[in-house]
């Protein structure tokens, strides 16, 4: 890790950027940050460099199948078949250094902005974003490289290194899962106190504001099984803006479009060109939709020969981190977990009303309203899979919802990810092990 931090220090050459197009923010100069504009540029670099790991995670799920004729086949074959112990040398690595590079940018803002510029509404917002980006980066690292959260064992379960300073001599041991969450919540609290922007306008909505921070709280509490807190956070987001794209309307946008009325934050490339070019939509995912009556099906997928491909990703317009559809589903799940079936039904059916043809929705309304608690939970989880398909959620949901067995077939050979398989936790990549022996 020491090598990593030294590398990051070398890379601390501020990218002063502009946002002429949505998230097309390439470095245009190198300076030592001394002004609010400089520190905003540093945060733009943090956002721009946030890893594209969720496109690789999708290949480990039941959402996709491989195009064995793709030129990128060899770079993802071992990811798709969960051959993590001894991957082919051509296999694309999961990000590690890049996460800590993003964290490094955030650490530099937190450490220096007040002394270099002073405290203003503008600098407070920039510093707030740095705290929250640092929190979100550690949260994603946990969900990649640590076991799913278990309250009973989190205080001893192995997590990831926590980075909050830019001291190149500091050692970065692996913290426990609970210790990492303690830092995450500390950063979120610090960021909340400083936030001045509720929600950024389209084009700048790759940045954290108050609403996106509440959405992050909702997701974190959901992953931790803290249902009352998850419900409060999700409901708070929807009380601010509960709009959904009505797919019955001719002019409706994809719900994950950065211009969508339900957009909260669009930072992440959850499906990049490599993953898109090497994959098709799986028969499993295609089969969970009523293809004639679920309006998401033609919005999400298009025919490519005898297969289907995703329309949802691999474009600047489809970058997504948080949107209202997810908040409706968190609210539904959390409400049911806290024995509020009426609210759970209300949130679930409100979402479905905007996604299904009217006649089919009426039938679904009747069917779902009669479901028992356990069956209703199954329905909510299934709706997550349909609604959030190819948006970077499925691997995390598989980890949280029982870690089921999955079969992938390549070249006529079957590969199995067994139920509760240790490979539901991704191994630290070789670059991480080389930089920090404490990860071994």
Range of the domain at 143: 1-52+96-196
**Does 27 score more than 90 pLDDT?**
no
> Which of 11-25, 176-190, 222-236, 257-271 has the weakest average pLDDT?
11-25
In sequence order, what E strands does 174-313 have?
174-176, 263-265, 279-281, 301-304, 307-310
Answer yes or no: is 340 within a domain: no
Answer yes or no: is 204 within a domain: no
Containing H/E element for 408? strand 406-410
277-324: pLDDT as tens digits: 999 999 999 999 999 999 999 999 999 999 999 999 888 999 999 999
Answer yes or no: is 283 within a domain: no
- Residues 6 or more apart in contact with residue 13 via CB below 8 angstroms: 30, 31
**Does 19 score more than 80 pLDDT?**
no
> What's the mean pLDDT when you consider all of the chain?
92
Q: What is the pLDDT of residue 383?
A: 98
Q: What is the pLDDT of residue 199?
A: 96
Answer yes or no: is 132 within a domain: yes
Confidence band, pLDDT 50/70/90 cuts, at residue 31? low
Answer yes or no: is 110 within a domain: yes
92-101: pLDDT as tens digits: 999 999 999 9
Q: What is the pLDDT of residue 18?
A: 32
Measured distance CA(205)–CA(199) in Å, rounded: 7
Answer yes or no: is 363 within a domain: no
Per-residue 3-state assignment (H helix, E strand, C coil) for 331-358: HHHHHHHCCCHHHHHHHHHHHHHCCECH
Answer yes or no: is 109 within a domain: yes
Share of the chain above pLDDT 70, in %: 92
Confidence band, pLDDT 50/70/90 cuts, at residue 5? very low
Measured distance CA(161)–CA(179) in Å, rounded: 10
**Does 58 score more than 70 pLDDT?**
yes
399-432: pLDDT as tens digits: 999 999 999 999 999 999 999 999 999 999 988 8
SS3 389: coil
pTM of the entire predicted model: 0.93
Number of H helices, E strands in the chain: 18, 12
**Does 202 score more than 70 pLDDT?**
yes
**Does 185 score more than 70 pLDDT?**
yes
267-290: pLDDT as tens digits: 999 998 889 999 999 999 999 999
- The total domain count for the chain is 1
Instruction: Output the domain CATH number for residue 128.
Output: 1.25.40.390
What does the pLDDT average to over 132-145?
Answer: 98
SS3 303: strand
Q: What is the pLDDT of residue 168?
A: 67
Answer yes or no: is 416 within a domain: no
What does the pLDDT average to over 321-330?
Answer: 98
């Amino acid at each position: 890790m020491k090598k990593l931090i030294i590398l990051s220090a070398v890379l601390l050459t501020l990218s002063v950027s502009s946002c002429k197009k949505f998230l097309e923010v390439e470095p245009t100069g190198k300076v030592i940050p001394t002004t609010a504009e400089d520190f905003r540029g540093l945060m733009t670099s943090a956002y721009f460099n946030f890893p594209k790991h969720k496109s690789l995670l999708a290949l480990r799920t039941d959402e996709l199948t491989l195009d064995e004729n793709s030129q990128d086949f060899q770079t993802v074959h071992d990811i798709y078949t969960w051959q993590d112990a001894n991957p082919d040398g051509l296999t694309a690595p999961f990000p590690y250094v890049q996460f800590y590079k993003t964290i490094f940018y955030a650490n530099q803002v937190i450490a220096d902005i007040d002394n270099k510029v002073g405290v203003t509404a503008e600098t407070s917002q920039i510093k707030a974003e740095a705290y929250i980006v640092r929190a979100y980066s550690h949260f994603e690292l946990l969900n990649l490289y640590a076991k799913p959260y278990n309250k009973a064992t989190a205080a001893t379960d192995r997590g990831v290194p926590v980075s909050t300073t830019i001291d190149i001599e500091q050692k970065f041991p692996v913290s426990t899962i609970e210790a990492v969450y303690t830092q995450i919540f500390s950063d979120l609290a610090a960021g909340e106190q400083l936030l001045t922007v509720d929600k950024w306008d389209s084009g700048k909505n790759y940045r954290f504001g108050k609403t996106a921070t509440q959405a992050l709280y909702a997701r974190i509490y959901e992953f931790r099984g803290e249902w009352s807190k998850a419900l409060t956070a999700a409901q708070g987001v929807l009380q601010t803006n509960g709009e959904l794209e009505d797919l019955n309307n001719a002019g409706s946008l994809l719900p994950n479009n950065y211009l969508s009325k339900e957009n909260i934050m669009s930072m992440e490339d959850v499906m990049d060109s490599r993953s898109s070019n090497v994959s098709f939509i799986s028969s499993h995912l295609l089969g969970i939709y009523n293809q004639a009556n679920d309006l998401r099906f033609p919005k999400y997928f298009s025919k490519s020969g005898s297969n289907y491909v995703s329309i949802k990703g691999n474009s600047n317009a489809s970058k997504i981190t948080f949107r209202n559809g997810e908040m409706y589903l968190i609210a539904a799940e959390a409400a049911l977990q806290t024995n509020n079936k009426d609210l759970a039904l209300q949130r679930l059916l409100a979402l479905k009303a905007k996604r299904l043809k009217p006649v089919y929705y009426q039938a679904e309304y009747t069917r779902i309203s009669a479901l028992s608690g356990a069956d209703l939970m199954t329905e909510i989880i299934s709706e997550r899979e349909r609604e959030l398909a190819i948006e970077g959620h499925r691997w995390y949901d598989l980890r949280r919802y029982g870690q089921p067995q999955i079969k992938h077939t390549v070249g006529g050979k079957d590969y199995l990810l067994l139920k509760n398989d240790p490979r539901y936790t991704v191994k630290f990549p070789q670059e991480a092990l080389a930089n920090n022996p404490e990860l071994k």
